[in-house]
Amino acid sequence: MTQNGDRNAANAAQTGDNNVATISQTGSSNNANSLQQGGNNTTGIIQNGSDNNANVHAGYAYTSTTGSAGDSNNNDLTLAQNGFNNIADIGSVGDNNSASVTQNGNGNVASVQQQ
């Protein structure tokens, strides 16, 4: 899903295995939400602009990979994963960005880069 402009909302909800959700937003004050339940699911959220918000929740999954990148200022990302072998990768460029990662389960890895 691709959205250009300001004050957009994108919601992705998927159940089952081997799902991919990709949300791309350009502009300000955009909101992206992704919920996945199952195994081998991937979520990618890319936001370019200011005052954007992204939320990702991956329920019990054998391999869940989630990521978000925000370019510019005042962006927020909240990511929560429950399950096994989860990977979280968050990157943001700009000022006043925030990131929150919560992982429960075995073999979890988190990487946060803010510049």
Looking at the whole model, is its pTM more than 0.85? no
Task: Please answer whether residues 53 and 74 qualify as being in contact, where contact means their C-beta atoms are separated by less than 8 angstroms.
Answer: no
Mean pLDDT of the chain: 81
98 is a domain residue: yes
Q: Per-residue confidence at 5, pLDDT binned at 50, 70, 90?
A: very high
59 is a domain residue: yes
77 is a domain residue: yes
Q: What are phi and psi of 29, to 5 degrees?
A: 60, 40
| Over residues 34-54, mean pLDDT | 84
16 is a domain residue: yes
Please tell me the total count of domains within the chain. 1
12 is a domain residue: yes
68 is a domain residue: yes
88 is a domain residue: no
- Residue 48 CB contacts under 8 Å (≥ 6 apart), including other chains: 25, 26, 27, 70, 71, 72
- The domain in which residue 54 lies consists of 2-81+93-108
113 is a domain residue: no
